[in-house]
Structure 1
Amino acid sequence: MKLNQVLSIVNQVEKSKFISCLDRLCSDAAKNNKKLAKTIDNIDGQIKNASGSEITQLFNTVRDFFKESVKEQILMSSAQLNLLINLLSRDGNCVARISWIETLYAKEWKELSKLSKDLLTCIKQGSPESTFDRNKALKIYHACMNEAYFNDQKNNRDAKVTDDERSILNVLSNELELTTDECAAIEHLVDVIPENGVLDALNSLRDMGLVFISKKRQEVFVPDEIVTLLNELQGKDLADKYVLRILRTCTDAELSNALKAHGRKIRGISRAEKIQTIIHSGISASKLLSDDIHSPEDTQNQRKERLKQLITDLEIDTEKLGTTLDERIGLILNSLSGATEKEFDSLSASGFKQLLKTLEEHFPTMPAVLKEAFELEPTEIIDTEKLRSLSITPHDILYLLSNDEVKEVRDSIGLSKRGNPRFAILESFANATDKLIENYDALARRDVNALRDAGVEVLEADLGIKFEEVTKAILEVLELNIDEDLRKDLNTTKDKADIVISLSDNDIIIGEAKTCKNGDFAKYSTTSRQVKAYVTRAENQGKRVAQVLIIAPSFSEDFIESAEMDTEVNISLLEAHGLKLILDAYKSKRNPSFAPKLLTKGGLLKAELIAKNI
C-alpha cells in the first residue's frame, strides 16, 4: 500500500509521529535545499496541514536524510527491532493486525532459536586444524560477533554492535559465505532477542516513523516506500517474491549449486524444499546470479549466456542486454524491483478477479497457498482488493505455482504450448477483458445472445458484476484513480458503492454502474436513495463528494429530469455507449488527456463533446 493511501486511512493522531519525524528532517534539510524550502513555504511551512500527496512529495525529497536517521536509530536499538523489521518488510506483512504480527513474531523467534542451537552444536564440534569448513566459518563469525558486541563493556559502555563493526561483520559473513539467517542466529546466541514485548517494539518503530498503527482497526501499516527503504537497510537487493521468480526458472542442478555454495543439504531434498531453503536463507539475488547458481568451473561467458537466457525466460523487455555480468545482473534486479505498477496495469481489475477465480477452480487450495506464501492470517478473506493493498500482483500469484502446475492451468484453458506459460495465461485474461470492453454496450443491456455471438461467455447472473468491473477497467484506461481501498473503507454490509474515484486527498466521485435489459433505466427514487446514503457516509468520514456519476445503457426522460432537479446531490449521467465513445477517442490520440472534471458537469453528459475535448 502506497504512503499516500496509508495517510488517507489513519487519523491525524496516528500519523503524527511520522509527520514529526518528517518535519524535523525537513527543517534540517531545507537550510541547504532551496527547492525543499520553497515546497515547505507553499504549504505555509506547516507540514501538519499538508495533504497526503504533499507529505508523500516531502518524504521523497528528504528520503536519503530519513534513511540515514532511521539507520542510526536502529543501530542504537535492540536486536528485537531488527527481527521485527525483517518480519514487517517481508512480502504480505505490510498490512496486518497487531495480534497476527505477534503470532508471526513468536513463530519467527522459535525458528531463529532452533537454528541458533543447531549452529552452536556445529561451533562446538569444531574442525580439524588443517581444514577449513563450514563449522570453522561459523566459529570465526561467532567469535567476531561476540567481540564486537561485548568490547564496549571494557570501556564502561553499554554493549552493542556499532555501525563500523556491523560493516566489518557484513564483509566477514560474505567472505565466509554465511547466509543472512545464519548471521541472525549467531547474533541471537550473543545478544538474546526477547520472546515478548512486540507491542512496545512496534511503538518504537512508530516513533521512528517506520510504521503506522491504527487503534480503531488494531492494524499495522508499513507503506511500500518504507518497505523498500527497510530492504535497503538490511542489504536486501530484491524482495523474496522476485527471488522466487528467478528460482522458478532455474534447473534442479542450479538450485543444488546454490545450496552447496552455502553448505546446505541437497540429498533427498525436493525441488520445492530447495527453493524455500534458498529464499528463507536470505541469500542476496545478486550473489545467486553472479556465483551460486553456476557451476564453479563455468566461465564468465557461460555465466553471461545463462543470464541472457534468464532475461528471456522472465520476459524482461530491454533494448540492451549489457556486455558484462554485472550489467546483466543490474538489468534483472532493476526490472523486477520496479515491476509492481506495470504488472497491475497489465491486467484490469476484472481480469485480475477472473484470473483468481479460475486458479481457485483448478486449485481449491489456492487461498491457503497464498496465505502460507505471504504469511497472511488464516481468517483473512482473500480477494483482489486485499492482494492489491499488499502489492501482490497477478504475476506474483502465478509464480507461487510450480512450473508443472502452471502448465496444467495453461492446457486446461486451451492455450498454446509455445512460450512462457505464465505470460500466456496473463495475456489470455487481458484479452478476455478487451472482449468485454468491445461489447460494453451489449453488456450494459444484458444482451446475452449478442455477447455469445461475439465469443464472450458470461452467466446471466454475473452480468451486473461484470458490467461494474469492466466500467472500472475503462475508467482505469482513462487514467482515473479508482480507489478500491477507500471504497472498501466506505462500504458497509448495507451500503455498497460500485466505484470510488479519488480526485485528491479529500475530493471524490462516487459512481454507480447500472445494467438494464429492456428499455431505458428509470428507477430514480431507488437509485437516488442509494447514492445519497453513500454520499452521507463519505462526508461523515471527511470526504467531499464532488459528483455522483451514474452509468447505464440509457436513461428515461423522467430519470434525467429528476437528476437535474435534485438539490441534495450533484448527479451526472453517462450512457454506456457514450463512455465507450470516450474510450475510443482517448485510445486514438497520440497524447491523450482526460480531465475528471469533464464528468462533473451535471445532468446527462454529452459524450460526443467530451470525446472531442480529449
Structure 2
Amino acid sequence: MKLNQVLSIVNQVEKSKFISCLDRMCTDAAKNNKKLAKTIENIDGQIKNASGSEITQLFSTVREFFKDSLKEQIMMSSAQLNLLINILSRDGNCVARISWIEALYAKEWKELTKLSNELQNSIKEGSDGSLFERNRALKIYHACMKEAYFNDEKSNRDAKVTDDERSILNVLAEELSLTTDESAAIEHLVDVIPQNGVLDALNGLRDMGLLFISRKRQEVFIPDEIVTLLNEIQGKYLADKYILRVLRTLTDAELSNILKAHGRKIRGVSRIDKIYTIIHSGIRAAKLLSDDMHNVDDNQNHRKDRLKQLINDLEIDVDKLGTTLDERISLILTSLSSATDKEFDSLSASGFKQLLKTLEEHFPSMIEVLKGAFELEPNETVDTEKLRALSITPHDILYLLSNDEIRDVRDAIGLAKRGNPRLAILESFANATDKLIENYDALARRDINALKEVGADVIESEIGIKFEEVTKAIFEILELNIDEDLRKSLNTAKDKADIIISLSDNDIIIGEAKTCKNGDFAKYSTTSRQVKAYVARAENQGKRVAQVLIIAPSFSDDFIESAEMDTEVNISLLEAHGLKLILDSFKSKRNPKFSPKLLTKGGLLKAELIAKNL
C-alpha cells in the first residue's frame, strides 16, 4: 500500500510520529536545500497541516535523509527490532493485524532458535570430516560475533554491535558464504532475542517513523516506500516474490549449485523444497546470479550467455542487453524490482478478478497457497482488492504455481502451447476485458446475444457486475484515480457505491454504473436515494463529493430533467456509447490528457464535445 493511501486511512494521532520524524528530516535538509525550503514554505511551513499528497512529496524529497536516519537507528537497535523488521518487510506483511504480527514473530523466533541450536552443534563439532569448510566458517563467524558484541564491556559500556562492526561482519558473512538466516541465527546465540514484547517493539518502530498503527483497527501499516527503504538498508534489493520468479526459471542442477555454494543439503531434496530453502535463506540476489547458480568452472562468457537466456525466460523487455555480467545482473534486478505498477496495469480490475476465479476453479487450494506464500492470516478474506493493497500482482500469483501446474492451467483454458505459459494466460485475460470494452454499449444494454457473437463469455446474472468492472477499467485507462480502498471504507452492507474517483485527498466523484435491457434508464427516484446515501456517508467521513456520475446505456427525458433539477446533489449523466467514444479518442491521441473535471459539468454530458477536445 502506497504512503498516500496509508495516510488516507489513519487518523491525525496515528500519523503524528511519522510526521514528527519527517518534520525533523525536512528541517535538517532544508538548511542546504532551497527547493525543499520553498516546498515547505508553500504549505505554510507546517507539515502537520500538509495534505497526504504533500506529505508524500516531502517524503520523496528527503528520502535519502530518511533512509540514513532509519539505518542509524536500526543499527543501534536491539536484535528483537531487527527480527521484527525482517518480518514486516517481507511480501504480504505490509498490512496486518497486531495479533497476526505477534503470531508471525513467535513462529520466526521458534525457527531461528531451532537453526541456532543446529549451528551451535556444528560449531562444537569442530572442523573435522566432510563438513570441514562449513563448520570452520561457522566457528570463525561465531567467534567474531562474540568479540564484536562483548568487547564494549572491556570499556565499561553496554554490550552491542556497532555500525562499523556490523559492516565488517556483513562482509565476513559474505566471504564465508553464510546466508542471512545463518548470520541471524549465530547472532541469536550471542545476543538472545526476547520471545515476548512484540507490541512494545512495534511502538518503538512507530516512534522511528517506520510504520503506522491503527488503534481502532488494531492493524499495522508499512507503506511500500518504507518497505523499499528497509530492503535497501538490509542489502536486499529484490523481494522474495521476484527471487521466486528467477528460481522457477532455473534448472534443477542450477538450484543444487546454489545450495551447494552455501553448504546446504541437496541429495533427496525435491525441487520445490530447494526453491523455498533458497528463498528462506536470504541469499542475496546479485550473488545468486553472478556466482551461486553457475558451475564453479563456468567462465564469464558462459555466465553472461546464461543470464541472457534468463532475461528472455523472464520476458524482460530491454533496449540494451548489457555487455558485462554486472550490467546484465543490474538489468534483471532493476527490471523486476520496478515491475509492480506495470504488472497491475497489464490487467484491468475485471481481468484480475476473473484470473483469480479461474485459478481457484483449477486449483481449489489456490487461496490457501496464496496465504501460505505471503504469510496472510488464515481467516483473512482474500480478494483482488486485498491483493492490490498488499502489492501482490497477477504475475506474483502465477509464479506461486509450479511450471507443471501453470502448463496444466494453460492447457485447460485452451491456449497455444508455444511461448511463456504464464504470459499467455495473462494475455488471454487481458484480451477478455478488451472484448468487453470494445462491446461496452452491448454490455450496458445487457445484449447477451451480441456479446456471445464476439466471443465475450458473460453469464446473464453477472452482467451488472461486469459492467461496473469494465467501467472502472475504462476510467483506469483514462488515468483516473479509482480509489478501491476508500470505496471499501465507505461502503456498508446496505449502501455500496460502484465507483469512487479521488480528485485529491478530500475531493471525490461517486460513480454509479447502471445497465438497462429495454429502452432508456428511467429509475430516478430509486437511483437518487442510493447516491444521496453514498454522499451522506462520504461527507460524514470528511470527504467533499464534487460530483455524482451516473453511467447508463441511455436516459429517459424525465430522468435527465430530474437530475438537472435536483438541488441536493450535483449529478452528471454519461451514456455508455459516449464513454466509449471518449475512450477511443483518448487512445488515438499521441499524448492524451483527460481531466476528471470534464465529468463535473452536470446534466447530460456531451461526450462528442469532450472527445473532440481531448
Aligning the two structures, in what range does the TM-score lie when normalised by the shorter sequence? over 0.9
Deviations 1:63-93 (A, max 9, x none): 1111111111112211000000000000000
| Closer/same/farther in 2, CA of residues 551 and 19 from structure 1, 3 Å limit | same
SS at the partner of 1:213? Answer: strand
Shift of 1:201: 0.4
SS at the partner of 1:14? Answer: helix
Shift of 1:132: 4.6
Residue 93 of structure 1 corresponds to 93
Deviations 1:165-221 (A, max 9, x none): 000000100000000000000000000000000000000000000000001111000
Residue 83 of structure 2 corresponds to 83
Residue 306 (str. 1) matches residue 306 (str. 2): yes
Letter in 2 for 1:525: S
Letter in 2 for 1:344: F
Shift of 1:130: 12
| Closer/same/farther in 2, CA of residues 341 and 131 from structure 1, 3 Å limit | closer
Q: 1:183 and 1:493 mapped to 2: Cα distance?
A: 50
SS at the partner of 1:160? Answer: coil
Deviations 1:411-433 (A, max 9, x none): 11111111100000001100110
Q: 1:568 and 1:457 mapped to 2: Cα distance?
A: 40
Deviations 1:232-257 (A, max 9, x none): 11111200000000000000000000
In the TM superposition, 1:359-398 aligns within 5 A as 359-398=359-398
Residue 33 of structure 1 corresponds to 33
Q: 2:563 and 2:158 mapped to 1: Cα distance?
A: 71
Q: 2:127 and 2:206 mapped to 1: Cα distance?
A: 45
Q: 2:259 and 2:176 mapped to 1: Cα distance?
A: 15
In the TM superposition, 1:89-168 aligns within 5 A as 89-128=89-128, 132-168=132-168
Aligned-pair identity in percent equals 84
Residue 211 (str. 1) matches residue 211 (str. 2): yes
SS at the partner of 1:311? Answer: helix
Q: 2:576 and 2:270 mapped to 1: Cα distance?
A: 53
Residue 497 of structure 2 corresponds to 497
Residue 574 of structure 1 corresponds to 574
Which shows bigger deviation, 49-58 or 126-135? 126-135
Residue 340 of structure 1 corresponds to 340
Q: 1:404 and 1:76 mapped to 2: Cα distance?
A: 46
Q: 1:77 and 1:249 mapped to 2: Cα distance?
A: 38
Residue 258 (str. 1) matches residue 261 (str. 2): no
**Is contact 2:501–2:510 with CA below 8 Å preserved after alignment?**
yes
Residue 245 of structure 1 corresponds to 245
In the TM superposition, 1:417-496 aligns within 5 A as 417-496=417-496
Letter in 1 for 2:108: E
Residue 63 (str. 1) matches residue 96 (str. 2): no
Letter in 2 for 1:71: K
Q: 2:466 and 2:207 mapped to 1: Cα distance?
A: 44
Q: 2:559 and 2:460 mapped to 1: Cα distance?
A: 25
Letter in 2 for 1:507: D
Residue 189 of structure 1 corresponds to 189
Deviations 1:7-37 (A, max 9, x none): 0000000000000000011011100000000
SS at the partner of 2:96? Answer: strand
Q: 1:414 and 1:131 mapped to 2: Cα distance?
A: 50
Structure 1 gaps of 5+ residues are none
Letter in 2 for 1:381: T
Instruction: Work out the number of aligned pairs and report it.
Output: 614
Letter in 2 for 1:303: R
Q: 1:129 and 1:561 mapped to 2: Cα distance?
A: 90
Deviations 1:320-368 (A, max 9, x none): 1100000000000000000000000011001000000000000000000
Residue 414 (str. 1) matches residue 414 (str. 2): yes
Write out the 4+ residue segments of structure 1 that deviate beyond 4 Å after TM superposition: 129-132
| Closer/same/farther in 2, CA of residues 129 and 249 from structure 1, 3 Å limit | closer
SS at the partner of 2:12? Answer: coil
Taking structure 2 as the reference length, the TM-score comes to 0.99
Shift of 1:613: 1.2
SS at the partner of 1:296? Answer: coil
Residue 541 of structure 1 corresponds to 541
Shift of 1:454: 1.2
Instruction: Let me know the Cα RMSD of the aligned residues.
Output: 0.9
Q: 1:216 and 1:430 mapped to 2: Cα distance?
A: 38
Q: 2:199 and 2:535 mapped to 1: Cα distance?
A: 37
**Is contact 2:76–2:163 with CA below 8 Å preserved after alignment?**
no
Letter in 2 for 1:118: E
Shift of 1:525: 0.8
Residue 272 of structure 1 corresponds to 272
SS at the partner of 1:15? Answer: helix
Deviations 1:464-507 (A, max 9, x none): 00000000000000000001111111111111100000000110
Q: 1:416 and 1:349 mapped to 2: Cα distance?
A: 25
Residue 513 (str. 1) matches residue 542 (str. 2): no
Q: 1:270 and 1:85 mapped to 2: Cα distance?
A: 30
Letter in 2 for 1:382: V
Taking structure 1 as the reference length, the TM-score comes to 0.99
SS at the partner of 1:17? Answer: helix
SS at the partner of 1:205? Answer: helix
Shift of 1:128: 3.3
Q: 2:369 and 2:76 mapped to 1: Cα distance?
A: 38
Shift of 1:568: 0.7
Letter in 2 for 1:70: L
Letter in 1 for 2:42: N
